[in-house]
Amino acid sequence: MTNMTSADHVFGQLNPEEIAHVVQASADISLTLNPQGVVESIAFGNPDLKSPHLENWVGKNWVDVVTVESRPKIQALLQDANATSLSRFRQINVPTPGTSDLPLLCATLKIASSGQIIALARDLREISLLQQRLVDAQQAIERDYTRLRQLETRYRVLFEMASEAVLVLDAATFKMVEANPRAADLLGESIKKLNGRSLIDYLAKGDRIQAQSLLGKVAYSSTPADLGTKLLSGQEVFLSAAPFRNENQSLILVTLKRSGEFVDRQDAGAQSLVMQALENAPDGFIVTNSAGKILTANQAFLRMVMADKLEQILNESLERWLERSSVDLRVMLSNLQEKGSIKLFATSIRDSYGTLHPVEISAVSVSYPHACLGFTIREVGSRIRSKIQPEESITRSSEELTQLVGRLPLKEIINETTDLIEQLCIKAALDLTRGNRVSASEMLGLSRQSLYIKLRKYNLSDQSKDNDIEE
């Protein structure tokens, strides 16, 4: 039996056409090179790789068409082929226009009969993609692990620094798994001694059965529950228990508050009821910062402005939905700053579709615990508009105006009508701004000086004098 290890022997038995078929079947790209490494021909076993860019390799030095870091590998492939007739596989990268480099796994062999070198290349893009996905997945796991460690650290700090006594109990035995320093102080034991002890042992004997029943209910019904009880020391406490699971283990989170703290909890409960009532109120209610940017809003306001979610309006200025935008907001903010509250400010709210809804706005400024503004917004239909009616002394029907035809020139009739409209608009602006001439001038698009002249002209100065905030 003859040992056929020589590439010369193998390919020497084949005609050129057969050699070409073998090369094409064994590689995605095959190159025929002269001994100096110049590309003489190129064949594509994978038609997807065929492109003018690669076809232009013919006549070029192979080392010149790869990336800089791949050039030493090309030189090694050529040297191996010239020295041993067959090289080992090496990965090279080929720059391609408009996309990432093309990775190829290459080997070379030399044909003794012709002196030519055959380069065989396999496309590694799928393997590279899998490798990149593996790297990305590994990095994502590391990031998730880091985040989990950070979260664990944060919650550990919160647990240790909590102002309340916090305990973690085993749901089956009511034994303490963890306790924070505040719990240790309240129960009069070190954290080390508390671990593994039942919470029931630290309660007054007369309250133990009731407490055990409550904890059992929480453990098996998965429903939070509260109980007023006493410790062995006689200290009255408020016990609050809630179930949770951690790594397939059923646990109970317990907080203990002294009797004084229980009163605070009752106050907090009352506040919660107030917030729930505001959330479900038929009138719109929003809370903004001192500049009028929305911090929260109830469902009625969301419906009023045609918003689907609260997130769509958060940090948006209230002026976005006001009929006179910045003018209305500036008037309300200035009055809130000066007086602390406003009542029944008439304007309109513009919804997401551009429809105006007449409203009355009442608002209050709050300074504790955080500076903010609360706005109650009530839809009133056409009632607001009906309030702003011209006085009989300055109204004139269309019939009265037409009666002037023939008595006065058209120019004088138009001038008189213009004065009437101007007077009505100024009076309406003063009514809307509560007599604030600065805001009224902005609403009308007039300078303050021009507005003052017109006020004297129509004897309206007294109407605005008392409420002029800024001169």
- DSSP code string of 66-130: S-GGGHHHHHHHHHHHHHHSBPPPEEEEE--TTS--EEEEEEEEE-TTT--EEEEEEE-HHHHHH
Q: What is the pLDDT of residues 310-331, one digit of tens each?
A: 888 888 999 889 887 778 888 8
**Could you give the CA distance from residue 135 to residue 196 in angstroms, rounded to a whole number?**
44
Q: What is the pLDDT of residues 241-275, one digit of tens each?
A: 998 887 778 899 999 988 655 445 555 555 566 67
Confidence at residue 387, expressed as pLDDT on a 0 to 100 scale: 47
Looking at per-residue pLDDT, the higher value among 4 and 12 belongs to 12
Q: For the stretch 67-86, what's the b/e string if a residue is b when 16 or more beta carbons lie within 10 angstroms of its beta carbon?
A: eeebeebbeebbebbbeebe
Compute the average pLDDT of residues 357-365: 89
**φ, ψ (nearest 5 deg) of residue 178:** -145, 155
CATH number of the domain residue 220 falls in: 3.30.450.20
**Could you give the CA distance from residue 227 to residue 215 in angstroms, rounded to a whole number?**
10
At 43, the pLDDT band (50, 70, 90 cuts) reads: confident
**Could you give the CA distance from residue 298 to residue 274 in angstroms, rounded to a whole number?**
12
Q: Give me the residue label for tokens 């059965």.
A: 209
Range of the domain at 334: 280-387
Same domain, 15 and 111: yes
The structural domain count of the chain equals 4
Compute the average pLDDT of residues 388-397: 46
Of the candidates 53, 44, 41, the residue with the CA atom closest to the CA atom of residue 118 = 41
Examine the fold and report which residue of 209, 243, 273 is the final residue of a domain before the chain moves on. 273
Confidence at residue 15, expressed as pLDDT on a 0 to 100 scale: 60
Q: Is residue 100 part of a domain?
A: yes
Q: Give me the residue label for tokens 């700053």.
A: 337
Q: What is the pLDDT of residues 104-133, one digit of tens each?
A: 999 998 887 778 888 899 888 888 888 888
Q: Is residue 79 part of a domain?
A: yes
Same domain, 374 and 339: yes
At 24, the pLDDT band (50, 70, 90 cuts) reads: low
Compute the average pLDDT of residues 95-107: 87
Of the candidates 142, 199, 133, the residue with the CA atom closest to the CA atom of residue 167 = 199
Same domain, 237 and 339: no
Q: Is residue 369 part of a domain?
A: yes
Of the candidates 41, 106, 42, 113, the residue with the CA atom closest to the CA atom of residue 78 = 106
Q: Is residue 139 part of a domain?
A: no
Whether 392 has a pLDDT exceeding 70, the answer reads no
Confidence at residue 9, expressed as pLDDT on a 0 to 100 scale: 59
Q: What is the pLDDT of residues 228-241, one digit of tens each?
A: 888 988 888 889 89
Confidence at residue 466, expressed as pLDDT on a 0 to 100 scale: 46
Looking at per-residue pLDDT, the higher value among 1 and 17 belongs to 17
Same domain, 11 and 117: yes
Same domain, 359 and 284: yes
Q: Is residue 128 part of a domain?
A: no
Ranking 28-37, 183-192, 439-448 by mean pLDDT, the lowest is 439-448
Q: Is residue 12 part of a domain?
A: yes
DSSP letter assigned to residue 399: H
Examine the fold and report which residue of 246, 273, 300 is the final residue of a domain before the chain moves on. 273
CB 126 within 8 A of CB 133: no
Compute the average pLDDT of residues 75-93: 87
Confidence at residue 198, expressed as pLDDT on a 0 to 100 scale: 92
CB 321 within 8 A of CB 312: no
Confidence at residue 389, expressed as pLDDT on a 0 to 100 scale: 47
Same domain, 191 and 226: yes
Same domain, 12 and 73: yes
Same domain, 107 and 183: no
Q: What is the pLDDT of residues 200-211, one digit of tens each?
A: 999 998 889 999
Same domain, 222 and 269: yes
Average pLDDT, the chain: 80
Q: Give me the residue label for tokens 């907080």.
A: 255
Confidence at residue 385, expressed as pLDDT on a 0 to 100 scale: 46
CA distances from 53 to 1, 165, 198, 395 (A): 47, 72, 77, 85
Looking at per-residue pLDDT, the higher value among 401 and 328 belongs to 328
Same domain, 16 and 119: yes
Confidence at residue 176, expressed as pLDDT on a 0 to 100 scale: 92
Whether 440 has a pLDDT exceeding 60, the answer reads yes
Confidence at residue 2, expressed as pLDDT on a 0 to 100 scale: 46
Q: Is residue 259 part of a domain?
A: yes
Same domain, 218 and 192: yes
Whether 370 has a pLDDT exceeding 70, the answer reads no
Ranking 89-98, 164-173, 381-390 by mean pLDDT, the lowest is 381-390
Same domain, 65 and 86: yes
Examine the fold and report which residue of 258, 273, 288 is the final residue of a domain before the chain moves on. 273
Q: Is residue 180 part of a domain?
A: yes
Confidence at residue 263, expressed as pLDDT on a 0 to 100 scale: 47
